[in-house]
With several copies, the nearest count.
Chain A
């Protein structure tokens, strides 16, 4: 699975997506977030674990207890600032 990262999260991670092994799924969004956070810099970890980070599964914003399954598209991003 490819986890998509946007804005600050992408900048801190240094890439717009992170590879993640399908073997570890299913996981909740929160479990996935903690696991992914441990892979990056301090800056990245802090930004990803911030309480206002959003997760979208299949392009829909979901809660932290949502279950991520094989084949899902997952994205993490900070609060939106369009318009």
Chain B
């Protein structure tokens, strides 16, 4: 069960978490990542994306994760639109029999989401000016860590 959702409305983390683990007795480990809008001098952000391409890229990333690690479920839910500070932007969750696969797959998915999924953010600063967010080089290097590594060494 691999799911991708682009949401215009506030992420209901409780509902997402609740639904995610149900009904599969082989699941022993859930790892969830939630990204929130940080309030470092900003009032809000706005997120846009490339409809169609985004969903394709995220679904492929889930497939890649499932090839590298024995994961049972994976879900990526990403907000678009206007988000005030502390609002959840993204929720990535992975279920597996054991924790090592779930941790690695969840971090892998976030690392690639950051650099390969067509989302763009702008920030509303305290003076009411919108500024596009620059891509961070650390994100690129975090994603590169996964290249050429043998999946087995990461479990």
Instruction: Name A residues whose Cβ lies closer than 8 Å to a Cβ of B.
Output: 4, 6-8, 11, 52, 56, 59-61, 75, 77-83
**Which residues on the B side are within 8 Å of A7 (C-beta)?**
48, 120, 122, 132
Binary interface profile of B, 41-52, with partner A (CB < 8 Å = 1, else 0)? 000000111101
Shortest beta-carbon distance from B121 to chain A in Å? 5
Rounded to whole Å, the gap between the CB of B59 and the closest CB of chain A is 12
Q: Interface residue tally of chain B, by bracket?
A: 20 to 34
The reply on B105 being an interface residue by CB < 8 A is: no
Q: Could you tell me if A52 and B135 are in contact, using CB atoms closer than 8 angstroms? A: yes
* Cβ contact within 8 Å between B49 and A82: yes
Listed in ascending order, the chain B residues whose CB lies under 8 Å from chain A are 35, 47-50, 52-53, 56, 78, 89-90, 110, 113-122, 132-135
- Alpha-carbon gap, A52 to B136, bound state (A): 12
Query: B53 to A82, Cβ gap below 8 A?
Result: no
Q: Which of B35, B48, B132 contacts A83 (CB 8 A)?
A: B35
Which of A4, A11, A61, A81: most chain B Cβ within 10 A? A81
Question: Given the complex, which residues of B lie within 8 Å of A59, measured CB to CB?
Answer: 50, 52-53, 56
Residues of B within 8 A of A61 (CB): 116
A4 to B118, CA, bound (A): 13
User: Is the beta-carbon distance between B116 and A80 smaller than 8 angstroms?
Assistant: yes
Whole-angstrom distance from the CB of A53 to the nearest CB of chain B?
11
Q: Which B residue sits closest to A82, measured CB to CB? A: B119
Q: Are B113 and A83 closer than 8 Å at their CB atoms?
A: yes
A81 neighbours in B (Cβ, 8 Å): 114, 119-121, 132-135
Given A82-B113, A82-B121, CB of A77 within 8 Å of CB of B90: no
C-alpha gap A8/B132 in the complex (Å):
7
16 contacts between A and B (CB under 8 A): A6-B48, A59-B52, A59-B53, A60-B53, A75-B118, A77-B50, A77-B120, A79-B115, A80-B116, A81-B121, A82-B49, A82-B78, A82-B117, A82-B118, A83-B78, A83-B117
The reply to whether A83 and B135 form a contact with Cβ atoms under 8 Å apart is: no
Chain A residues with CB under 8 A of B113: 82-83
